[in-house]
Amino acid sequence: MLATLADFFAESERNKGVCRLAMEWTKGAWEHLRQCDQMIVDSADNWGLDRLGPVDRSILRLAAYQLMFCPNIPPKVVLNEAIEIAKKYSSDKSSAFVNGVLDGVLKKLESKGSVQGR
């Protein structure tokens, strides 16, 4: 599956650095899927993953992964990018929902001291 994904990124984007990051983040989110999903569920009051559309679920998973495992990306950038992706590719209310859930994820990580030095 990763080879197919690598082919997709290579065909969709000529910049090898962008392709490398896309693969790295996608692979990382898949490898840490349980942790990301648990953080999302813990931060989305009364919303299970099964209630989320596939686009919103994917946006939240990638952003949760980046917040938890990519210390070189400022949290504000992660949140802003996720919100913009939701505005572009999901429903009218998705950007506010994504913002709220990721704000909760960030607060939980900050309370654990997991985003220090960013």
Domain ranges of the chain: 1-31, 33-118
> pLDDT tens for residues 11-53?
765 677 877 888 899 999 999 999 999 999 999 988 888 889 9
Between CA 110 and CA 75 the distance in angstroms is 10
Q: With bands split at pLDDT 50, 70 and 90, how would you rate the model's confidence at 109? A: very high
Residue partners of 95: CB distance under 8 A and separation at least 6? 83, 84, 86, 87
Q: What is the pTM of this model?
A: 0.86
Q: Homologous superfamily of 33-118 in CATH?
A: NusB-like (1.10.940.10)
Burial class (CB within 10 angstroms; exposed 0-12, middle 13-18, buried 19+) of 32 = middle
pLDDT single digits (tens) 73-86: 999 999 999 999 99
Using CB atoms within 10 Å of the CB of residue 50, give its burial: 0 to 12 exposed, 13 to 18 middle, 19+ buried: exposed
